[in-house]
Amino acid sequence: MLLQAVICMNLALIFYTWAVFSARKHGLHRMHLLIFGTGLVSDYLGTHLMLLYGLANGIDPKWHTVTGIASLSGMGFHFLLALLATLMHRTEAVNRLFHRVSLTIYYCWLVAFFSGAFAGMGHAF
């Protein structure tokens, strides 16, 4: 279960990073929704598997649980914003807001990603 969770979280990192920086460079397109969605689903699955693994092994880093849920929520909001911008055919105001919050949400997500990695390594030794 731990290996699948780590794979899912790393896939989330790859797809989310790809989506954020590709959308910033090339503008938001429908392809980015697919990439964002894949990253979001990977993050959800990885988070869920990590939670199950932690509960089964008596590991409960409460501080990381809070950052993990907050970052998953931020990623979900980010996806919905991308969906809205795409459905509105990249209306300028929505697209501008999307790019303004994009890096902030992404960096907050990275904090949760790396704090989880460090928390997991702390329990591995």
Q: Tens of pLDDT along 73-120?
A: 888 988 888 888 778 776 677 667 777 788 888 888 888 888 877 766
The confidence score (pLDDT) of residue 91 equals 61
Burial of 32 (0-12, 13-18, 19+ CB in 10 A): buried
- Rounded to whole angstroms, what are the CA distances from 115 to 29, 54, 56, 123? 31, 15, 20, 13
SS3 10: helix
Q: What is the pLDDT of residues 8-23, one digit of tens each?
A: 999 999 999 998 899 8
**Residue 62 CA neighbour count, 13 Å, CB half:** 0
The confidence score (pLDDT) of residue 8 equals 93
Signed CA dihedral, 30, 35, 36, 38: sign only: positive
Alpha carbons 70 and 75: distance in angstroms, whole number: 9
Q: What is the pLDDT of residues 52-70, one digit of tens each?
A: 888 888 877 677 778 888 8
pTM score above 0.75? yes
29: its two tokens = 């397109």
